[in-house]
A and B are shown apart, each in its own frame.
Chain A
Amino acid sequence: MKNQGKQSITRREMLTRLTALGFTVPAATALIAANGRRASAADPIRISFANVFEKGELFVQLGNGIENAAKLMGYEFRRYNNEFDSEKTLANARLMVQDRPDIILEYNGVEGIGQALRRIFDDAGIPFIAINVPIPGGHWFNLVNKEIGTDTANVVVPIANANGWTGNDTTAIIIQASAAGVEVNDCVRYFYVTAAETMEGMTKVKPDEITATTTTIGDTGIQVDGAGALEESYTAVKNALQTLPADRHILLYSVNDDSTLGGWRAITEAGRQDNTIVAGLGGSVAALGELRNNPQWVAEGSVFATHWGQYLIAMATAVLNGVEPPPLTKCPQLILTPDNVDKYYDAEGKVQLLPPLVPENEYLRDTGVLQQFNNVEGLIG
């Protein structure tokens, strides 16, 4: 289950690849000398990273991305696996501080143990960056689900409006993942709230009126629980469709690509695809394929999780340089459409360009780290 063997192969492959690209130690040292406050081959920056989980492509790629970026910068890097377990996470935190790294990147999946982690890191006097799940007293790097939901609605609803759809003949079906907590589900809440504001005749609600137990929003919103998974979302949407007249228009949106794909499958099975506009979130290969080929799939949110590594290493470098980051450093995020998808993703679904830095992330530019990757729009030299 732990995939240890596979992971070590991946690491070895990565080193081989880096060497092949000509990133030899002297070259890396030269890079660091350009910007590092303590740049010297004898005393490299030391970073420890605890991944939330080493199972599932997303988490492994995220971890590999961070490791990749750290090594590229010539930093000394250690990687731990929290296994989605609070005990293990705390044990890892204690192990990490023993090594006395310069900075810690902590991806903790168990929100409740933030205070305990803070105490361990603070006692050791080591700065830390919390990834995804905030830890009190630490710097925070995350996607902003609220903005993604709002931005997606701002792509989807104008298309529906142009079709002449209104709240009288349209229902938004949003697929939540109730067990994932409020922040994750912000994307679907704000999607509905924004849609209701921009489409005539939809029942308007405040964001906090949509909770985990909300199932209907007036006559124009249905929230189902897809548990973030394909099969559950398929079944949930299938049941929900029973309650909608066959000619009713549908806006479909969910917390992740698996849920949207499951819901979309239920809609096509019911023969209602021509009356539906759908948007995904995640930028998975399957969803990008839909965005490119399926005329009803009009938007796809991406947070470029495989490339968080270079931003995190830039952020860590800034912190070590004495910069105080904003309370939340946003990950690169963008709503892809059929028109711009080819700019950011190649045909195989690999990222080829990252969106430009938002103003509050300009401090990352000053570290010079992102420039080394030559893949951020506006920072390509």
Chain B
Amino acid sequence: MSSPAETFSGPRDSESVKSRWHSTRAQFFGIGAFYIAVVVFFTLTSDYFFSYSNALNILTNVTVIGIVALGQTLAIVSGGFDLSVSGVVPLGAVTFVIFSNAEMATPAAMLFAMLVGAAVGVFNGLIVTKVGINPLIATLGTLSITAGLAYALSNGVTIPMKNIDAGVLAERTWGRVPYYVVTLIGLSLIMWFAMRFTVIGRRIYAIGGNREASRLAGLRVDEITIAIYATCAGLAAFAGVVVSSQLLAGSATVGADAALTSIASVILGGAALFGGVGGVGGTLLGVLVLGTIANGMALLMVPAFYQQIATGVILLLAVGFGRLRAVISG
């Protein structure tokens, strides 16, 4: 933290401070406008885009990353990162199927997979808080460990679900909407409420805004941080359960891009890389933008190589344009 004398000596500084604030708000509305533009563009260019079945298709495509991104929002808002989700998603997927195949009741197998994830998260939280290792490095380490574990547990092969009733989350309810989409919506509402209206939500923002001040204000910073990583990894493991339910099989290859895509979504949604700013609404918008662009390009039959390039360019443009607009207007 810079000394107050440095931060508040002149009007120039406080202006840049203000523009940073406005930029996050502009980012949120900017990305909303951008999303509408994306929808309009693909509606005009593809005959297959604007339909109920494709809207449902997009929702089913983004659910897994959406669940991961909810957890990632907690980690990033509190001033951290969780790269280990890329290992925890496959670990959750594989443990769920292994336990389901061992004739464990489906809810118990789900709970167990999530507990495995939460345990990884507690481990992440402990090395970040008590050992004091930077979250990027700490979770990079657990990413490697958990991904390796997922391979070891599955012997590197796809394990089919013996009891396909265990894939209950992928079954369809009203309007052909799968239960896992309903679950994502429910989780988002809970998280949105918790972050905006509860004491613990307020404290998560406080820790992300100023970790040391939070400690001095008497917050149990370490305990909250551990709980955040546990929630994030628990959600990632649940995302693994959802993938397995979709595929009716468990595989260690799933979720490899979960870390990068979830972080990209959170940042695209207006969260600050340095913590303290961001929210569920923005994150979901970010997830939808990336998922809709991927779907639209697939419908337009854009080759995979170019899809990858286009996604990167759009990500940079969307984030960069939001910041630029804020600088010009602020």
Contact = CB atoms under 8 A, between A and B. Distances in A.
B160 A236 contact: no
Given A257-B158, A258-B158, A261-B158, A240 B298 contact: yes
A56 B148 CA distance: 10
Contact of B249 (A58, A225, A261): A261
B55 to A, nearest CB: 10
Contacts of B251: 229-231, 258
Interface in A44-94: 55-58, 60
Contact of A216 (B57, B294, B301): B301
Contacts of A206: none
Interface string B213-236: 000000000000000000000000
Contact of A284 (B53, B157, B255, B298): B157
Interface string B149-174: 00110011111100000000010000
B296 to A, nearest CB: 9
Interface string B25-54: 000000000000000000000001001011
Contacts of A231: 243, 247, 251, 253-255
A227 B251 CA distance: 14
A56 B253 CA distance: 11
B48 A242 contact: yes
A378 to B, nearest CB: 30
Interface stretch (B103-111, B202-210, B303-311): B303-311
A203 interface: no
A242 B54 contact: yes
Nearest to A59: B156
A3 B61 CA distance: 33
A239 B57 CA distance: 7
Interface string B118-133: 0000000000000000
B56 to A, nearest CB: 10
Contacts of A230: 158, 247, 249, 251, 253-254
| Size class of the B contact interface (CB-based, 8 Å) | 35 or more
Interface string B136-158: 00000000100110011001111
B57 A56 contact: no
Nearest to B53: A242
Contacts of B249: 230, 261, 265, 286
Interface stretch (A109-117, A207-215, A333-341): A207-215
Given A1-B148, A231-B254, A239 B155 contact: no
A371 interface: no
A106 to B, nearest CB: 22
B248 interface: yes
Contact of A238 (B48, B60, B147, B170): B60
B19 interface: no
Contact of A242 (B157, B247, B299): B299
Contact of A215 (B158, B254, B295, B303): B303
Interface string B255-295: 11000000000000000000000000000000000000011
Contacts of A3: 148, 152
Interface in A277-316: 284-286, 289
A56 B156 contact: yes
A57 B157 contact: yes
B158 A225 contact: no
B246 interface: yes
A12 interface: no
Contact of B247 (A55, A212, A262, A284): A262
B182 interface: no
A55 B255 contact: no
B120 to A, nearest CB: 16
A58 B53 CA distance: 38
Given A6-B152, A213-B306, A242-B54, A265 B301 contact: no
Contacts of A284: 157-158
A235 B304 CA distance: 13
Contacts of B159: 286
A55 B48 contact: no
A141 interface: no
Nearest to B149: A1
A196 interface: no
Contacts of A6: 152
A213 B57 contact: no
A269 B61 CA distance: 13
B302 interface: yes
B70 to A, nearest CB: 19
Nearest to B296: A239
A284 B51 CA distance: 37
A284 B154 CA distance: 13
A45 to B, nearest CB: 31
Nearest to B295: A239
A214 B303 contact: yes
A215 B300 CA distance: 9
Interface in A235-281: 235-236, 238-240, 242-243, 257-258, 261-262, 265, 269
A375 B155 CA distance: 25
A372 interface: no
B303 A235 contact: no
A234 interface: yes
Given A240-B298, A284-B157, A284-B158, A234 B246 contact: yes
A229 B253 contact: yes
Contacts of B243: 231
A58 B304 CA distance: 26
B305 A286 contact: no
A56 B151 contact: yes
A286 B155 CA distance: 13
A215 B160 CA distance: 29
Given A216-B301, A240-B298, A265-B248, 11 more contacts: A55-B156, A56-B151, A58-B157, A60-B156, A225-B303, A230-B249, A242-B299, A257-B158, A258-B251, A286-B249, A289-B160
14 contacts: A1-B151, A3-B152, A178-B303, A213-B306, A214-B303, A215-B302, A215-B303, A238-B61, A239-B294, A242-B57, A258-B251, A285-B157, A286-B249, A289-B160
User: What are the 9 tightest A-B residue pairs by CB atom distance, in nearest-first order?
Assistant: A56-B156, A225-B304, A239-B298, A213-B303, A215-B301, A1-B148, A229-B253, A57-B155, A231-B254
